[in-house]
């Protein structure tokens, strides 16, 4: 059986596991009354979503874990991407648990999240600098050349991991947005990993693709469950580690352009308001700006998915 067929099997298995686990776990989340709280300063159209079960990311993490551990492709790289996915997912889970179960609206303090994120990110960065045949070099898009970051490699990679994870977290604000965008991005990395010979990472990426696709059954508009920080942090950790282990760190802003735009909109909004007292966007992250501009939620999601698909095609071209 060739490697491409194994990827299809991983996608299909993860997809069906997500469906089955979702049918089992989502009613359980409802009984626990772990409903999403809607921010008072958020769009008024979101108030109707209050009480929708959250922490659904558990479903995706479980499906990915089962699929990859039974794939027969176990190696150190696979353990690192699983470590990143589960590690960041655990931080998100603790944050969700404090907010929705213990009813403490603020969840983990910012510095507590950051300590956990930096710790995981540093481990990934050090591992890659020691294990990769490219050492501290990263591939430059379009040029097909590597740049050696030297002693800056570990802090740079750690920054990328933390930034990517939080950017994915910010993207998770509309039904099906983060799961759909990540489905497309993970499909890109799955094909690239297969082509570059990173078979364990290709299998993991395929499992991630299947899990996101299956989760859309419950998370597409109108969402029956939200992934919560449990899911969005796990997805961010997964995407960041996949790219880094293939030395494709600089491709994240390209194929993950939507993540980047969402995070940048928040940064611009905060800086502008604090320095001039004026807001650049009607609301940040970016998807809320379009909502308040009159776009329907489903239109925003489809447009952002489409943009991601185009960016991934550009990403493929940049590797030639």
Q: pLDDT digits over 195-246, tens only?
A: 999 999 999 999 999 999 999 999 999 999 999 999 999 999 999 999 999 9
pLDDT of residue 37: 60
Higher-confidence position of 219 and 39: 219
Q: For residue 118, what are the contacts with CB-CB under 8 A and spacing of at least 6?
A: 158, 162
pLDDT of residue 149: 95
Instruction: Select from 167, 168, 169, 159 the least CA-distant residue to 118.
Output: 159
Assess if residue 155 is contained within a domain. yes
In the predicted model, what is the mean pLDDT of residues 12-36? Answer: 89
Assess if residue 153 is contained within a domain. yes
Average pLDDT of the chain?
92
pLDDT of residue 319: 87
Assess if residue 48 is contained within a domain. yes
* Strand ranges inside the chain, DSSP E: 137-140, 145-148
Annotated binding residue at 195?
A: no
Lowest model confidence (mean pLDDT) among 31-40, 103-112, 153-162, 242-251: 31-40
Flag whether pLDDT at 2 surpasses 90.
no
The residue range of the domain holding 40 is: 3-248
pLDDT of residue 144: 85
CB crowding 13-39: b at 16 or more within 10 Å, else e: bbbebbbebbeebbeebeeeebbbebe
Assess if residue 239 is contained within a domain. yes
For residue 138, report the phi and psi dihedrals to the nearest 5 degrees.
-130, 150
CB 200 within 8 A of CB 77: yes
Flag whether pLDDT at 67 surpasses 70.
yes
pLDDT of residue 71: 87
Most confident of 6-15, 40-49, 65-74: 6-15
Annotated binding residue at 169?
A: yes
Tokens describing residue 167 = 């950017």
Tokens describing residue 21 = 């686990």
Helices 257-276 and 153-171, packing angle to 10 deg = 90
Lowest model confidence (mean pLDDT) among 28-37, 125-134, 161-170: 28-37
Share of the chain above pLDDT 70, in %: 95
Assess if residue 258 is contained within a domain. no
pLDDT of residue 73: 84
Assess if residue 93 is contained within a domain. yes
Burial zone of 98 (CB within 10 Å; 0-12 exposed, 13-18 middle, 19+ buried): middle
Q: Residues 84-141: pLDDT tens digits? A: 999 999 999 999 999 888 877 777 898 999 999 999 999 999 999 999 888 899 999 9
In the predicted model, what is the mean pLDDT of residues 149-165? Answer: 97
Number of domains the chain contains: 1
Alpha carbons 109 and 95: distance in angstroms, whole number: 9
Assess if residue 26 is contained within a domain. yes
Assess if residue 163 is contained within a domain. yes
Terminal alpha carbon distance of the chain: 27
Query: Considering the entire predicted model, what is its pTM?
Result: 0.94
Q: For residue 216, what are the contacts with CB-CB under 8 A and spacing of at least 6?
A: 176, 179, 180, 183
């Amino acid at each position: 059986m060739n490697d491409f067929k194994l990827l299809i099997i991983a996608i299909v298995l993860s997809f069906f596991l997500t469906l089955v686990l979702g049918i089992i776990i989502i009613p359980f989340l409802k009984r626990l009354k772990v409903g999403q709280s809607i921010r008072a300063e958020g769009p008024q159209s979101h108030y109707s979503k209050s009480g929708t079960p959250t922490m659904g990311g558990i479903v995706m993490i479980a499906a990915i874990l089962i699929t990859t551990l039974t794939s027969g492709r176990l190696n150190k790289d696979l353990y690192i991407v699983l470590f990143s996915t589960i590690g960041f997912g655990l931080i998100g889970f603790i944050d969700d648990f404090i907010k929705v179960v213990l009813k403490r609206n603020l969840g983990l303090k910012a510095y507590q999240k950051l300590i956990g994120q930096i710790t995981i990110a540093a481990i990934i960065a050090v591992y890659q600098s020691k294990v990769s045949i490219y050492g501290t070099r990263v591939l430059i898009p379009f040029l097909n050349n590597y740049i050696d970051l030297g002693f800056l490699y570990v802090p740079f990679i750690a920054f990328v991991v933390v930034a990517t994870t939080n950017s994915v977290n910010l993207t998770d604000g509309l039904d099906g947005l983060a799961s759909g965008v990540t489905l497309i991005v993970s499909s890109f990395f799955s094909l690239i990993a297969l082509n570059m010979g990173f078979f364990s990472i290709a299998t993991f990426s395929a499992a991630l693709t299947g899990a996101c696709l299956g989760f859309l059954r419950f998370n597409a508009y109108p969402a029956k469950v939200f992934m919560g920080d449990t899911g969005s942090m796990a997805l961010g950790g997964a995407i960041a580690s996949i790219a880094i282990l293939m030395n494709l760190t600089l491709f994240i802003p390209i194929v993950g352009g939507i993540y980047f735009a969402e995070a940048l909109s928040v940064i611009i909004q905060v800086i502008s308001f604090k320095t001039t007292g004026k807001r650049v966007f009607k609301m940040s992250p970016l998807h809320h700006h379009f909502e308040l501009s009159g776009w329907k939620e489903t239109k925003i999601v489809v447009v952002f998915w489409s943009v991601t698909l185009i960016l991934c095609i550009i990403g493929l071209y940049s590797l030639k």
